[in-house]
């Protein structure tokens, strides 16, 4: 396998794009991309390479130069010189570069807010600041973020990476509507419930895969299982770890 093929496979994984999604973004036929990604096409057309490089936000030189290592494109210059990005940081940068200007400004504002000292809750309890997703109600598919303050004295809250405000009954009888749920990024067990992004929707569900078919299942039997197609974008944002007992919107 040539280094270009290895780099393309690496970029697809880092950007979380399928060949079909890459074809849609680059306007290159899937069959042509399959030949390029597999190495069957030894000398891809310059126009195709230019389009592919634009989709993955890298230079054509990076793809074609075997002297440049696969991870080379994920480095950055600062006032202190060159440093390498971790895989998580590289995914963040890739996602950030795809945002529109308004979304970039909102993300910058959130980062600034997280760096601000949170202070104390009720005057004596040390707290930490994170963000709370709002799960969509049946009539609302938006997913705004709002800052929330969690007590550092609660071990479960201290280990949570973010929270979710539950606005429907999908998690009943485990959690009632209106609850604020603690979530942690990381692997989700077969029996765990998590916060999933399915295309443009946020869902609190358990992922069940049987006979090659993935479904998102709610504990409330009144909510039908959601079938995940092969062409759908599915990402687990985190696993639900418990209920936020003490918090304040911040």
pLDDT score, position 109: 73
Identify the domain containing residue 172 by its residue range: 103-249
Count structural domains, the chain: 2
User: Does the pLDDT at position 83 exceed 70?
Assistant: no
Task: Please state, as a whole number, how many other Cβ atoms lie within 10 Å of the Cβ of residue 230.
Answer: 9
pLDDT score, position 73: 55
Neighbour-count burial for 95-118, b at 16+ CB within 10 Å, e otherwise: eeeeeeeeeeeeeeeeeeeeeeeb
**Tens digit of each residue's pLDDT (9 = 90 or more) over 221-232:** 999 999 999 889
Mean pLDDT for all residues in the chain: 84
Tell me the two tokens of residue 191.
Answer: 């029996």
**Tens digit of each residue's pLDDT (9 = 90 or more) over 128-145:** 888 898 876 555 544 567
**Tens digit of each residue's pLDDT (9 = 90 or more) over 101-128:** 877 877 777 777 777 766 665 567 788 8
Q: Are residues 63 and 130 in the same domain?
A: no
pLDDT score, position 141: 45
pLDDT score, position 228: 94
Q: Are residues 57 and 120 in the same domain?
A: no
Q: Are residues 132 and 240 in the same domain?
A: yes
Least confident of 13-27, 110-124, 153-167: 110-124
Q: Are residues 79 and 148 in the same domain?
A: no
Task: Please state, as a whole number, how many other Cβ atoms lie within 10 Å of the Cβ of residue 42.
Answer: 9
User: Does the pLDDT at position 74 exceed 60?
Assistant: no
């Amino acid at each position: 396998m040539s280094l270009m093929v290895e780099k393309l496979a690496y970029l697809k994984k880092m950007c979380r794009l399928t060949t079909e999604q890459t074809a849609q973004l680059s306007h290159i036929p899937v069959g042509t991309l399959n030949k390029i990604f597999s190495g069957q096409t030894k000398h891809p057309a310059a126009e195709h390479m230019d389009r592919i490089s634009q989709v993955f936000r890298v230079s054509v030189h990076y793809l074609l130069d075997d002297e440049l290592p696969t991870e080379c494109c994920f480095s950055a210059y600062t006032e202190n010189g060159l440093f390498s990005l971790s895989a998580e940081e590289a995914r963040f940068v890739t996602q950030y570069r795809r945002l529109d200007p308004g979304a970039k400004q909102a993300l910058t504002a959130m980062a600034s807010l997280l760096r601000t000292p949170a202070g104390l809750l009720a005057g004596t309890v040390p707290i930490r600041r994170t963000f709370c997703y709002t799960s969509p109600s049946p009539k609302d598919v938006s997913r705004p973020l709002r800052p929330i303050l969690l007590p550092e004295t609660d071990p479960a809250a201290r280990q949570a990476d973010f929270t979710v405000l539950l606005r429907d009954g999908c998690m009943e009888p485990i959690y009632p509507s209106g609850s604020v749920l603690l979530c942690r990024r990381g692997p989700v067990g077969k029996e765990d419930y998590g916060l999933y992004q399915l295309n443009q929707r946020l869902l609190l569900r358990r992922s069940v895969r049987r006979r090659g078919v993935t479904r998102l299942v709610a504990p409330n039997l009144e909510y039908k299982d959601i079938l995940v197609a092969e062409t759908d974008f599915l990402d687990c944002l985190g696993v639900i770890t418990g209920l936020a007992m003490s918090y304040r919107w911040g």
